[in-house]
Amino acid sequence: MKRMDQAVIDKTLELIKSQEKAGEGNERVKEIINRLLEDLFNAMADLDITSEEMWIACDWLTQAGKNNEWGLIFAGLGIEKFIDVKMDWEDEQAGIENKTPRTIEGPLYVAGSPESHGYAELETEVEEGAERLYMSGYVRDEQGNPVPGAKVEVWHCNLKGLYSYFDSTQPDFNLRRAIITDANGKYEFKSFLPVGYSCPPNGSTDTLMSLLGRHGSRPAHIHFFVTAPDFRKLTTQINIEGDPLTYDDFAFATRPELVPPVVRISAEDAAKEGKDEAFAKIEFDFNMVKEKEIAPAGENNRKRASLEA
Ligand code: MBD
Ligand code: FE
């Protein structure tokens, strides 16, 4: 079929814009919405999108909201990845280097986890059958100096691939803690090696991924927010080395610098490190940069879950 005349599309866009009153509303919202409508209408013409297809989209969008899956869809469609790529590019323009790479937050953070100094144990309830993990490292500034008093917030899923709060069968803040670095800038925590995550079966994200011929799974990973006064908030994750999905993450969060080695320490050697059982050991430092006007901010003020909300 012949594509609609551009003039017909443009006239419709102008009609819609003509109802906006100058000086009213928000100029930034007007700019963004008008641009998105322009791109959308052109795509509808190019791809000959039908009325039936449009209403399938509307129904899917409605259901996705009811399911609270929009955060997951932003991750799965690579939108959250793209904003990281954009901010990386902006950092590069600003000459910012030698930092721990950012990677997406994802939709499963909960604010207000229990805080401790230097060390934390992440299990509020014991996870049966898990491989013990001790992870530690230093928070460092741009010169490599340790940053005492930095806050390392950490969260990961259990062996079912589920996160506390979103999985109401787990106790509050299970596998979620905030650790304040000690006088040497060091943090350490005791937990276990988590497993990967998969989107809720038959949910809106899962349905879309299937239609795209994709899977909706993530490799095993651990999330972090690192904050300290005057430093830019760092949002990142580490991957558990050896997961088959390490470089096949539906959320595109893996970065080679974020896959630290996992060292297996035997029960005998564990004693030398002051631990009472064999464990997997991960050492990982967080290299922070100062908050700067010329570079993107670390905080985005998205709405986040908390026990009160
Ligand atoms: C997760 O655990 C996650 O980290 C992301 C980004 C998306 C879905 C589930
Ligand atoms: Fe996650």
* Alpha helical stretches, state H, 137-243: 204-211
**Per-residue model confidence as pLDDT tens digits over 115-138:** 999 999 999 999 999 999 999 999
What digits encode the pLDDT tens for the residues 181-231? 999 999 999 999 999 999 999 999 999 999 999 999 999 999 999 999 999
> Residue 167 C-alpha to ligand 2 middle, in angstroms?
13
pLDDT at 308: 84
Residue 31 CA: distances (Å) to CA of 13, 19, 148, 209: 13, 14, 44, 31
Query: How far does residue 304's CA lie from ligand 1's centre (Å)?
Result: 14
Confidence of residue 273 (pLDDT cuts 50, 70, 90): very high
Determine the atom of ligand 1 nearest the C-alpha atom of 253: 6
Is the pLDDT at 175 greater than 70? The verdict is yes
Give the separation between CA 291 and CA 138, rounded to whole angstroms: 19
CB of 222 within 6 A of ligand 1: the answer is no
218 lines ligand 1 (CB under 6 A): yes
Are the CB atoms for 223 and 243 separated by under 8 Å? no
Residue 309 has what pLDDT? 62
In the reported structure, the alpha carbon of residue 264 is separated from the centroid of ligand 1 by a whole-number distance in angstroms of 26
Residue 72 Cα to ligand 1 midpoint, Å, equals 7
pLDDT digits (tens, 9 = 90+) for 4-20: 999 999 999 999 999 99
Q: Give the pLDDT mean for 99-111.
A: 98
**Spacing, Cα 130 to ligand 2 middle (Å):** 18
Average pLDDT score over residue span 12-38: 98
Locate the ligand 1 atom nearest the alpha carbon of residue 105 and give its number. 6
What is the average pLDDT value for the chain, to the nearest integer?
97
Residue 176 CA to ligand 1 centre (angstroms) = 15
SS3 sequence of 47-73: CCCCHHHHHHHHHHHHHHHHCCCHHHH
Ligand 1 atom nearest the C-alpha of 104 is 6
Q: Per-residue pLDDT tens for 51-88?
A: 999 999 999 999 999 999 999 999 999 999 999 999 99
110-111/305-306 β-pairing? parallel
Residue 30 has pLDDT above 90, yes or no: yes
Residue 122 Cβ contacting ligand 1 at under 6 Å: no
Instruction: Give the ligand 1 atom nearest the CA of 251.
Output: 6
Residue 153 has pLDDT above 90, yes or no: yes
* Per-residue pLDDT band at 2 (split at 50, 70, 90): very high
Q: What is the mean pLDDT of residues 91-113?
A: 97
Q: Is the CB of 234 under 6 A from ligand 1?
A: no
Q: Is 251 in the pocket of ligand 1 (CB under 6 A)?
A: yes
Ligand 1 atom at shortest distance from the alpha carbon of 80: 6
Of 288, 226, 255, 242, give the one whose Cα is nearest residue 96: 288
Tokens 């741009």 -> residue = 142
- The pLDDT of residue 234 is 98
For ligand 1, atom 3: residue with the closest CA: 106
Structure tokens at 11: 């006239």
Q: How far apart are CA 184 and CA 35, in angstroms?
A: 50
Which pLDDT score, from 0 to 100, does residue 32 have?
A: 98
CA atoms within 13 A on the CB side of 170: 23
Measured on CA atoms in the order 156, 159, 163, 169, is the torsion positive or negative?
negative
Percent of the chain with pLDDT over 70: 100
Residue with the smallest CA separation from ligand 1 atom 4 is 106
